[in-house]
Amino acid sequence: MSTDDKNRAIAAAILPLVGGAGNISSVAHCMTRLRLGLRDRSLVRDEALKALPSVMGVVEDDTYQIVLGPGTVARVTPEFEALVAAGAAQAPAHSAEELADRGAALKAARKAKNATPFKLFLRKIANIFVPLIPALIGCGIIAGLNGLLVNLGLLPGVTPALAAIASGFMALIAVFVGYNTAKEFGGTPILGGAVAAIIVYAGVAKVEVFGQALSPGQGGVLGALGAAVLAVHVEKWCRRRVPESLDVLVTPTLTVLVSGLVTVYGLMFVAGEISQGIGDFADWLLENAGAGAGFLLGGLFLPLVMLGLHQALIPIHTTLIEQQGYTVLLPILAMAGAGQVGAAMAVYLKLPRNGSLRRTVKSALPAGFLGVGEPLIYGVSLPLGRPFVTACVGGAFGGGFIGLFTMLGDKVGSTAIGPSGWALFPLLDGDKGLGTTLAIYAGGLVVGYLVGFAATYFWGFSHEMIEEFDVDTEAVAASAPVVAGPGATGRDPEPEPEPAQA
């Protein structure tokens, strides 16, 4: 089967299990998940969906999220969209309305539960930056390759071109942030990009604000975000007041002019100070309290993910990458995944008779080593309870290990966001050479694995949990009595055998 046929088959297997094309109101994807808007949640067959070999797990938030893994989700999503479009075209005209009416109450209740103002704001921020991650990863890997070639003195005629390729996107990232911000907040995307482009324009160096000359790029992604939000508000104000006959001329002009002036004479300076403060604080925190800060960040990251609050870190990562060339926070946060891997291995050894759970661990561990933690979190540690906590302990010690070396002067950073685990190795950078950086990060992973394993093996299970979960679930299901009608066998049932002694 070709790759296209395989992806189409995955999409075709998923669609009927989520209620068919008529039940889909929106389709999107992130790094690992297919995100579906559903009209009627009750039509989804969760267990059948989780049983598909290609599905690593499901998560329910404001959208129904199916974990397919990096790479796979980007290829399956277009096939799924095509099937939804074809199914919608064949469906009766009234089917979508009927489904919408039937699921309206459930959908409203679910949205009300998740749609707190703060979480909605964070989700908008994440939606601005997540589409940029593929370019950050690609350019980050090229930058790492170029740095390696420069250090080795190889291909001197090619390295300048690689430097330009790796740096071009970061030089203009403010424009992409402005474009996505305007799109997310309901404005015209190109106007948001136009206003944000002022920040990276070389000519701003001729402008003085508060007695200081501006620098191209000052304010970075935070300034671009603020400028685009302002542009959206100015544009909406103009749309409400400018006559339709003049709208096409007046609204874009006023939007760019007003937002541009505020950006040049206010936002760039303010956002620049904030960005500088973020960088200085991150450096100070890890240089003076690196071990403790790493311990807290590595241990609390997974709970932040569960609450959706990790999205607030995305603009901080991007700001640090803009300023320093890498974010020192991501390698520490990646240790949370190492703790999950160690905990999962302990679960595998602690429950030798639970074949079903052991198969889940075996299938999810490769993805866990590569930094895709959802299958282990939602399929293993979180349902068991205590292993999730002990996994966080492993992440805390791994983060503390990397933070300790930062205190000692050996910074470990990532040139992009998105990957984790072993997948982060090609993106690592630091201030003491690539070999030292790789060794410290690998040491952190090993500490996370070992502590997550030990904490889970020795403290992750109570006696009651062992009795409950360390059972042969398949044998129990096979030996379950079949209820037959009176006289079906013509004789009394045989007594059940005594249970085997442990």
User: Active-site positions?
Assistant: 30
C-alpha–C-alpha distance, residues 126 and 135, integer Å: 15
Which of left, alpha, beta for 409 (phi over 0: left; psi -120 to 50: alpha)?
left
C-alpha–C-alpha distance, residues 391 and 389, integer Å: 5
C-alpha–C-alpha distance, residues 320 and 410, integer Å: 17
| DSSP bridge pairs for 34 | 29, 66
- Give the gyration radius of the chain's Cα atoms: 27
Look up residue 57 and give its DSSP letter: E
HSE-CB for 379 with a 13 A CA cutoff: 29
C-alpha–C-alpha distance, residues 64 and 87, integer Å: 19
Residue type at 169 in one-letter notation: F
Cβ atoms of 379 and 57 closer than 8 Å:
yes
Q: Which residue has the tokens 């749309």?
A: 239
C-alpha–C-alpha distance, residues 161 and 183, integer Å: 33
Torsion 494-496-498-499 (CA) sign: positive
Which of left, alpha, beta for 400 (phi over 0: left; psi -120 to 50: alpha)?
alpha
Cβ atoms of 10 and 76 closer than 8 Å:
yes
Cβ atoms of 271 and 279 closer than 8 Å:
no
